[in-house]
Structure 1
């Protein structure tokens, strides 16, 4: 009888395939990149097949890896069903995510998390960072993934994101003109930061659109109404970054932090996978 496959290695393989990164998979599994590489090397040796093509900048499935991936998912799903029957339930937690962090690829993030462990129920709330933190501090959320304010030191730093000036390709602006700006609500710190940078640079501006969320502001930018300061991950696919070309002031990196009170191991693992998937999105 042949030795059974190592489920930990199978899980690592699926995460690397989904996240396209050894680093992100290691973060999701609370492991190291070298440990993940060793697991996959042993899995490839066990199967006698090369599953991944590795380059300095890219990780992708080989033809054998593409063929093996559905079976690997089936193995993990069978394991989860067996464990779920013993544990009765898979666990549940709530997480708030800043709308700036969720971005436009959030459906893919949820798909990757569900592939990792479909037995855990996640309640997700997407709102401005300040609102998410208020809910977390009231005990309404088990975890929060938000943008860190400059004066704060709380939370675990999980990633840094670029902020840029975005506009529709056809949008026109000449130096000296009053800059037409689309902004978020007055409680948004990114709004305050962007307008302060314009003031400090001596660039005249006027608000022509105020949106209550990322989708509203993104729509205004795509429609050619104005320019707006957006995290790169939240910019609509049909707009372009125009800050350097038009001499607009540079904006600092946004620091994204995780707050969590989760104690149950399975839920903590799913939360780590969610963070890793957000970073890879």
Structure 2
């Protein structure tokens, strides 16, 4: 009986020791923008002594290679496999299973994403930092900041002004990362500026609406008659207009139905009203 107790203690230690090595850093998503995902339905087998494979059960789940550390750490199915072969070996085998499954897909994610592989849509994701997935449904492609929210320093929400973390000095060079522009901060000194994501910012879409020189962007939220609008790739995209308006063919503005009717009566429907 004494030997049996000692044996159980040794086995328990062998099972728990590798799990204690799964640190917090392994459980954090690494923020990759490209991933490989797929619906796995196969047996997890790892070569053991003399090359003989050891089976650890059937894995039936939609998995992404970037989230395998979290998946392994939180699944009791892999306790024995980790104890015998280590976490890295188990993750490597699961990675092979994802790459070899029939639904294997290379996924491209936008900023502010969190991957959420699901059946029928391996590249599905949700958005964080206040952003919303667009379009809605099973196949989003972007994380957008919807009206009435605005972007401020990488967050989407309702802000009272949005000063840059680092305000420029009078003669300091105004440099921003690719896709961003140095825009004036309304309500602050004339030399204050911030880096704005002009490809997605609702109030400075396509360029600075409050530029230090000449405004080059568009404030999508200021479009007359607009009810729901987004800034997508530097262009205002109108999703919905207020009562009495409708979107134009390009979904770039809201057209007043009354003005349109009046123009039609006078044969001006194809002329631009100044």
TM range (shorter): under 0.3
Larger Rg: 2
Higher relative contact order (CA 8 A, sep 6+): 1
- TM-score, length-normalised on structure 1? 0.26
Greater per-residue strand proportion: 2
Instruction: Name whichever structure is richer in helix by fraction.
Output: 1
TM-score, normalized by length of structure 2?
Answer: 0.26
